[in-house]
């Protein structure tokens, strides 16, 4: 995505910007990045990786800065940090090659994977019984008449296992890069601060002024925070739904599909609708936003992430509506294709910001604790 020369120039530029900000300090109350930089005299790559993941891209320091373009200092911290962040995702990715592949063309790679997995299920189902792809099934266990339970569990289990390993390795690389020890994570006060800030998206309030982000232009607003909330809590609700479904299946002997008034369907549907709303809102903000503080090179990666998330949920909602019709088998294969492809890309796409942002908040919690 970026050449070696690009990366060296960006690091120099980011380091220069941080030194200017350290002297200026005008933005000190805007977000955690600015109080944190006062602790550094020089800015090497690990420090910049940490700071860029602590940034939540509110663009306040661009619109408020007297040295932003057209000033000759040309400070554009949101853009520089967003490129540094993506570079850090590639650096921490496990295996590294997948990080590079997704960074090169995330949209094509994710759609290809989704189509491959979906096709795999369709072909498997067709060989199982040529009619089953176009048959209306009713009653409990109908999903497993299309894709046998063992196949569904094996494929999703392998992908889930891979994702967990990639997250653990990536987080460890991020956390220890600045010399922090894994054992420091035993301090529950760090988790209390970081989880509190993440759950409330506290820093998207726009620092001390509380007016929100400059997500579109120099006007302040809270809509970006609410759309992020919709995506985050929607995702949590769908995770709750999947966990409940696993408990019902394994411990209560109750098999999908579940009734419309069951907790599995209610949490899953609510989560899906919230995520679709969040995706539409975030796309609108991206389209409308002032392009100068945005890295145009990264827009494709952003849109592919939002599109995949929306497709996972839209196909899931369609499956819910048509689950008793003849379209159910094909819809189930397509939906599973998107779900599994999304899970597979989670450690390499923008989703991983969640992990490193949490890590950066944990590091920042150390600064808060010590000051
Ligand atoms: S972004 Fe600009 S205004 Fe803000 S601290 Fe840095 S130099 Fe000062
Ligand atoms: S864009 Fe917002 S969060 Fe990022 S450094 Fe600037 S003020 Fe802080």
The pLDDT tens digits of the residues spanning 169-182 come to 999 999 999 999 99
The kind and range of the H/E element at 25 are: none
Return the ligand 2 atom nearest residue 203 CA: 3
The kind and range of the H/E element at 345 are: helix 328-345
Verify whether ligand 2 is closer than 6 Å to residue 30 (CB atom). Answer: yes
Same domain, yes or no, for 188 and 218? yes
Determine the distance separating the centroid of ligand 1 and the alpha carbon of 223, expressed in angstroms: 24
| Ligand 2 mutation pick, 25, 26, 31, 293, max ligand atoms within 8 A of CB | 31
Same domain, yes or no, for 84 and 223? no
Last residue of a domain, one of 58, 91, 124: 91
The predicted structure's pLDDT at residue 181: 96
Same domain, yes or no, for 47 and 173? no
Same domain, yes or no, for 116 and 264? yes
Same domain, yes or no, for 55 and 152? no
Last residue of a domain, one of 91, 115, 145: 91
Give which of 358, 340, 354, 347 is closest to 147, Cα–Cα: 340
Same domain, yes or no, for 106 and 151? yes
The segments of the chain whose pLDDT lies below 70 read 1, 105-112, 114, 123-124, 126-133
Verify whether ligand 2 is closer than 6 Å to residue 57 (CB atom). Answer: yes
* Protein residue closest via CA to atom 2 of ligand 2: 58
Q: How far is the C-alpha of 81 from the C-alpha of 53, rounded, in Å?
A: 8
Determine the distance separating the centroid of ligand 1 and the alpha carbon of 67, expressed in angstroms: 7
pLDDT digits (tens, 9 = 90+) for 239-264: 999 999 989 988 888 888 899 999 99
| 216 and 284 Cβ atoms separated by less than 8 Å | no
Q: Which residues contact 164 (CB under 8 A, 6 or more apart)?
A: none
The predicted structure's pLDDT at residue 212: 87
Q: How far is the C-alpha of 223 from the C-alpha of 270, rounded, in Å?
A: 20
The predicted structure's pLDDT at residue 303: 85
Give the distance, in angstroms, between the CA of residue 75 and the centroid of all CA atoms in the same chain: 27
Determine the distance separating the centroid of ligand 2 and the alpha carbon of 204, expressed in angstroms: 9
| 67 and 73 Cβ atoms separated by less than 8 Å | yes
Verify whether ligand 1 is closer than 6 Å to residue 361 (CB atom). Answer: no
Last residue of a domain, one of 91, 123, 141: 91
Nearest ligand (C-alpha, residue 38): 1
Q: Determine the structural domain holding residue 238 and report its residue range.
A: 95-370
**Furthest C-alpha separation in the chain:** 71
Same domain, yes or no, for 54 and 186? no
Residue given tokens 């975030």 in the structure block: 282
DSSP 254: -
The per-residue b/e assignment along 163-193, b for 16 or more CB within 10 angstroms, e otherwise, is beebbeebbebbbebeebeeeeeeeeebeeb
Same domain, yes or no, for 133 and 26? no
Percent of the chain with pLDDT over 70: 94
Determine the distance separating the centroid of ligand 1 and the alpha carbon of 40, expressed in angstroms: 16
Same domain, yes or no, for 141 and 85? no
Give the distance, in angstroms, between the CA of residue 234 and the centroid of all CA atoms in the same chain: 13
Return the ligand 1 atom nearest residue 28 CA: 5
Same domain, yes or no, for 175 and 43? no
The predicted structure's pLDDT at residue 128: 64
Verify whether ligand 1 is closer than 6 Å to residue 27 (CB atom). Answer: yes
Question: With the C-alpha atoms ordered 19, 22, 27, 32, is the resulting torsion angle positive or negative?
Answer: positive
Determine the distance separating the centroid of ligand 1 and the alpha carbon of 48, expressed in angstroms: 16
Same domain, yes or no, for 70 and 168? no
Return the ligand 1 atom nearest residue 64 CA: 3
Return the ligand 2 atom nearest residue 293 CA: 1
Q: How far is the C-alpha of 344 from the C-alpha of 155, rounded, in Å?
A: 11
Q: How far is the C-alpha of 96 from the C-alpha of 229, rounded, in Å?
A: 30
Same domain, yes or no, for 55 and 86? yes
Q: How far is the C-alpha of 222 from the C-alpha of 139, rounded, in Å?
A: 45
| 46 and 116 Cβ atoms separated by less than 8 Å | no
How many domains is the chain built from? 2
Return the ligand 1 atom nearest residue 77 CA: 1
């Amino acid at each position: 995505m970026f050449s070696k020369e690009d990366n060296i120039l960006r690091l120099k530029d980011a380091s220069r910007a941080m030194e200017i900000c350290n002297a200026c300090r005008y933005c000190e109350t805007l977000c955690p990045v600015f109080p944190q930089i006062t602790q550094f005299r020089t800015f090497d790559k690990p420090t910049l990786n940490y700071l860029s993941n602590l940034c939540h891209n509110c663009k306040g320091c661009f619109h408020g800065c007297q040295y932003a373009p057209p000033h000759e200092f040309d400070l554009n911290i949101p853009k520089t940090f967003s490129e540094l962040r993506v570079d850090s995702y590639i650096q921490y990715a496990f295996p590294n090659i997948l990080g590079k592949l997704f960074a090169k063309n995330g949209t094509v790679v994710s759609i290809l994977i989704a189509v491959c997995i979906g096709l795999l299920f369709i072909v498997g189902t067709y060989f199982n019984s040529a009619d089953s792809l176009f048959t209306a099934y009713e009653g409990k266990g109908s999903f497993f008449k299309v894709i046998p339970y063992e196949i569904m569990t094996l494929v999703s289990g392998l992908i889930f296992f891979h994702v967990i390993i990639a997250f653990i390795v990536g987080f460890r690389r991020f956390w220890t890069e600045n010399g922090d020890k894994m054992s420091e994570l035993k301090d529950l006060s760090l988790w209390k601060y970081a989880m509190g800030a993440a759950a409330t998206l506290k820093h998207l309030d726009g620092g001390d002024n509380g007016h929100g982000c400059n997500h579109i232009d120099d006007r302040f607003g809270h809509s970006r925070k609410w759309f992020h909330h919709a995506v985050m809590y929607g995702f949590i609700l769908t995770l709750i739904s999947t966990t409940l479904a696993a408990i019902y299946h394994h411990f209560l002997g109750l098999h999908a599909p579940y009734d419309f008034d069951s907790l599995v369907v209610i949490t899953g549907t609510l989560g899906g609708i919230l995520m679709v709303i969040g995706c539409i809102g975030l796309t609108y903000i991206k389209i409308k936003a002032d392009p100068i503080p945005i890295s145009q090179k990264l827009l494709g990666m952003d849109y592919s992430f939002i599109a995949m998330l929306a497709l996972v949920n839209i196909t899931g909602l369609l499956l819910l509506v048509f689950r008793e019709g003849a379209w159910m088998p094909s819809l189930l294969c397509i939906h599973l294709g998107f779900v599994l492809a999304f899970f597979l890309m989670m450690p390499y796409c923008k989703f991983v910001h969640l992990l490193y942002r949490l890590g950066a908040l944990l590091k920042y919690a150390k600064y808060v604790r010590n000051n």
